């Protein structure tokens, strides 16, 4: 993940909080777990030790990933005061088939489709980027072609 990574201010805060939690809480906890598992004796047949080492490996990998993301973080401007076009950081209210939805356009590391946080690099994100209020956006979804009418950008 070399280079710049687009993040919102909110996303950057969450990434920093996760990093601090892993460094200050989780890492010492796992180290203590490994230490206790070693005390059980022969580590070659010690399931607790193996599980703790596996957790440590995953943890260290995530710490390295977060360090790389934070080094390359490029915070996008705050769109809370409104904007005339959809950009990373925008919240976009759309109308489709009688229903309204709101999506938050975010960088790829923040994407969480279940919570309506859509990456600017996703097919829907690409379709929305650069559009204005009143535009109709066509988007090729797994269920077929969908049309969104942009109602609000904030």
CATH of the domain at 119: 3.10.50.30
Two tokens, residue 87 = 């950009």
69 and 15 in a single domain? The answer is yes
95 and 71 in a single domain? The answer is no
Number of domains in the chain: 2
In terms of residue numbers, what domain contains 33? 5-75
Residues 6+ apart with CB under 8 A from 139: 123, 124, 127, 145, 146, 147, 148
Query: Residue 94: its pLDDT value, please?
Result: 97
Q: Decide if 154 contacts 79 (C-beta within 8 A).
A: yes
Report if residue 20 sits inside a domain. yes
> Mean pLDDT across the stretch 29-48?
87
The residue length of the chain stands at: 154
Note the pTM of the prediction, 2 decimals: 0.82
| Mean of pLDDT over the chain | 92
Q: Could you read off the pLDDT of 67-105 as tens digits, one per residue?
A: 999 999 999 976 555 678 999 999 999 999 889 999 999
Q: Decide if 92 contacts 103 (C-beta within 8 A).
A: yes
């Amino acid at each position: 993940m070399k280079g710049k990574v687009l993040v919102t201010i909110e996303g950057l805060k969450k990434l920093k909080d996760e990093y601090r939690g892993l460094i200050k809480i989780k890492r010492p906890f796992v180290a203590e777990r490994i230490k206790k598992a070693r005390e059980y004796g022969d580590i070659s047949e010690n399931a607790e030790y193996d599980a703790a080492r596996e957790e440590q490996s995953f943890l260290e990998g995530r710490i390295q990933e977060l360090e790389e993301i934070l080094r390359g973080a490029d915070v996008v401007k705050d769109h809370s005061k409104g904007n005339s076009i959809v950009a990373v950081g925008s919240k976009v209210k759309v109308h489709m088939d009688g229903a309204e939805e709101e999506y938050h356009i975010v960088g790829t590391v923040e994407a969480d489709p279940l919570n309506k946080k859509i990456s600017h690099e996703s097919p829907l994100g690409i379709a929305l980027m650069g559009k204005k209020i009143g535009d109709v956006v066509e988007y090729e979804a797994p269920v077929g072609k969908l049309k969104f009418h942009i109602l609000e950008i904030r």
